[in-house]
Amino acid sequence: MCPGSKERKSDEKRNSGMTKRSCSQGSRIIQRVKPVRKKSSDIASVERLSLLINSSKLNVCWRSDLLIGGKMNGLIRPLLTMLLVVGAVGRSAQKAEDDRRTDAYAVYSIIMNDPTTSHGPYKGEVFLIGEMTQPGTPAEPCVRVPPQYEQAYRELLNEYYQRRDKPVKLERAFNISKSYQLLDADEVKEFVAIHSLRRTPYPNPNELFQKTSDLFTFSDVYFNQSRTLALTAVSTFCGSLCASVKWKIFQKTSEDRWEERPWVFCTTVADDLARRALLID
């Protein structure tokens, strides 16, 4: 046996073991760069690079055998860096949006689990909710927070001014005990027309509308930067002289629960304002 042959076989065995490592189970390889034999002057060759799709998110998987003499191959390093940065930013942004959605529907659900209307507690069989958010009334929220929350409230108002004119389509993500139905724009107009005060009232052939007295609409939910304060507006409409619009503000407690705070000092009850809140001519 030639001198050094045992050491070479040992090295080959270790390298063979390294190539058997695999990436995350359930991932799908969509591109593979096979080993490229280089001249003897090269430090080593890149064995493979796998770009993986796992759980609908882009991940990059590489092994220690991609390291060449302690350095990443010059062509692979920029690609990996770019994919890692883009992937991390994308996942972070998606998580922030998911957390925001969770908090928004937690706030909506608190309101709808014990809603009040212009004529008292709601007693209908089902909730009818407009599926598009609408601006709150009055346009300047009538909220006065304690001094220690003024900075957080200023941050919240900054988001409110940026987002208030951008309608959001609501989803069936309410966590409430009573059944509910989201109404599109045509159904909202039909409900308002049926319940409007006229010399000859419209008949009410819609069986769903007969199960409820009020239509609910919401504004978007606005947060401060750390999402510890939340502001939204809720409107109820049951007729030309039967409507209300209220701002509501919530605080997240140390137990990560949202609770309404008594910092709102106005309630709007008027035909004209209710119609404007519903964007009905």
Q: Helix (H, G, I), strand (E, B), or coil: what is residue 276?
A: helix
Label residue 203 exposed, middle or buried (CB < 10 Å: 0-12, 13-18, 19+).
Answer: exposed
Q: How far is the C-alpha of 248 from the C-alpha of 221, rounded, in Å? A: 10
The residues, any chain, with a CB within 8 Å of residue 146's CB and separated by 6 or more, are: 263
Structure tokens at 162: 């940026």
Taking the domains of the chain in order of start, what are their residue ranges? Answer: 21-91, 103-277
Q: What is the pLDDT of residues 161-199, one digit of tens each?
A: 999 999 999 999 999 999 999 999 999 999 888 877 665
pLDDT above 80: residue 257: yes
Q: How far is the C-alpha of 72 from the C-alpha of 66, rounded, in Å? A: 7
* Predicted model pTM: 0.66
pLDDT at residue 120, as a whole number: 87
pLDDT at residue 6, as a whole number: 52
Task: Give the helix/strand (H/E) hosting 131.
Answer: none
Cα–Cα distances in Å, from 90 out to 3, 25, 44, 71, 87? 54, 22, 34, 27, 5
Q: Helix (H, G, I), strand (E, B), or coil: what is residue 280?
A: coil
Ranking 39-53, 147-161, 192-206, 248-262 by mean pLDDT, the lowest is: 39-53
User: Of the segments 15-19, 147-151, 188-192, which one has the largest average pLDDT value?
Assistant: 147-151
Residue whose C-alpha is closest to residue 139's, from 60, 219, 24, 200: 219
Q: Give the chain's radius of gyration (CA, Å).
A: 30
pLDDT at residue 268, as a whole number: 84
pLDDT at residue 181, as a whole number: 96
The identity of residue 150, as a single letter, is E
Average pLDDT over residues 77-96: 70
Q: How far is the C-alpha of 69 from the C-alpha of 41, rounded, in Å? A: 12
Give 208's pLDDT tier (boundaries 50, 70, 90).
Answer: confident
